[in-house]
Amino acid sequence: MPDYRVYVSPQPTLTSDELVLSAAEAHHLVQVNRARPGDPVIAFDGKGNEWSCLLEPGAGRKIVRLRVVSQATRAALPCSILLGQALPKGGTMDEIVRQATELGAAVIAPLSTSRSEVHLEGERATKKVDKWRAATIEAAKQCGNGWVPCVEPIQPLATYLASSAVRAAELRLVASLRPDAQPLRHVLSNYRSTHGRAPTSVAWLIGPEGDLSPEETATALAAGWLPVSLGPLVLRCDTAAVYALATVRCATDGG
């Protein structure tokens, strides 16, 4: 894979023979990464489409053109993972977003819950979501992910639980410290034994520092979510998110 990856939006036509980069992508490719005319570049739209290109001569600070050599469409990962993450403190959500992108999450839903210590509304919320969406693109460039996850607006837990995509997930799992929580490996193994295959869609619910309240957990369980244990140790919420996504990805990428 070439060293250079760039994001193109809005989505070009699949038969394009030339791509023009945004000013930000042009600056990053030529000024930051020091790409030179003739260098191979992979352009991607975050929806599985990729273009193998060559950087054309005459690139400036704001206008950069790529000559398309070939186009391909990358298949989505075998399991679509939706991450509902209660807002943590500080910049922890930034890291969760980056690592969730590296692990191939399809959707990242930042959640406002009763124990969330961070409360974002209005313009502050919009700016945060924009920042997280930019972080998914940068993470996708770095790791070679052709699919950029959708970062949804910050929403109440009830909105996430009621969304059609979440309700349609084959497995809906809430990380829990409850004594009746099943080990995650058992849940995934039981699903495969019952259905003869790994799940193709999994929705996760991860609490903030201090976990979800008992009432929030009860609401999720009443809606059909399964309480799962992530092991005998109490994990930070960012560690829990990575553990949850990585374990499901490992169990489902083999089909």
Cα separation values, 237 from 30, 56, 84, 167, 187, Å: 38, 45, 12, 23, 20
Asked if domains 4-73 and 80-252 share a fold, the reply is: no
User: Mean pLDDT for the chain?
Assistant: 92
Q: Which CATH number fits domain 4-73: 3.30.70.1880, 3.40.50.2000, 2.40.240.20, 2.30.110.10?
A: 2.40.240.20
Give the strand pairing for 49-55 and 40-44. Answer: antiparallel
- pLDDT-based confidence at residue 12 (cuts at 50, 70, 90): confident
Each domain of the chain, given as residue ranges in start order, spans 4-73, 80-252
Give the strand pairing for 107-112 and 226-229. Answer: unpaired
| HSE toward the beta carbon, residue 85, CA cutoff 13 A | 33
pLDDT score, position 121: 80
pLDDT score, position 153: 96
Q: In the predicted model, is pLDDT for residue 255 greater than 50?
A: no
Rg (CA), the chain: 20
Give the model confidence (pLDDT) of 62-83 as tens digits. Answer: 689 999 999 999 999 999 999 9
- pLDDT-based confidence at residue 84 (cuts at 50, 70, 90): very high
- pLDDT-based confidence at residue 2 (cuts at 50, 70, 90): low
Non-local CB neighbours of 240 within 8 Å, separated by 6+ positions:
175, 206, 230
Pick the range with the lowest mean pLDDT from 13-22, 45-54, 202-211: 13-22
The CATH code of domain 80-252 reads 3.40.1280.10
Pick the range with the lowest mean pLDDT from 21-35, 84-98, 128-142, 156-170: 21-35
CA angle 181, 187, 192 (to 5 degrees): 170
Q: In the predicted model, is pLDDT for residue 11 greater than 90?
A: no
pLDDT score, position 1: 45
pLDDT score, position 58: 77
Q: What percent of the chain has pLDDT over 90?
A: 80
pLDDT score, position 124: 86
Higher pLDDT, 51 or 11: 51
Q: In the predicted model, is pLDDT for residue 59 greater than 80?
A: no
Give the model confidence (pLDDT) of 180-223 as tens digits. Answer: 999 999 999 999 999 999 999 999 999 998 899 999 999 999 99
Cα separation values, 191 from 4, 84, 210, 248, 252, Å: 40, 21, 29, 12, 11
**How much is the pTM?**
0.92
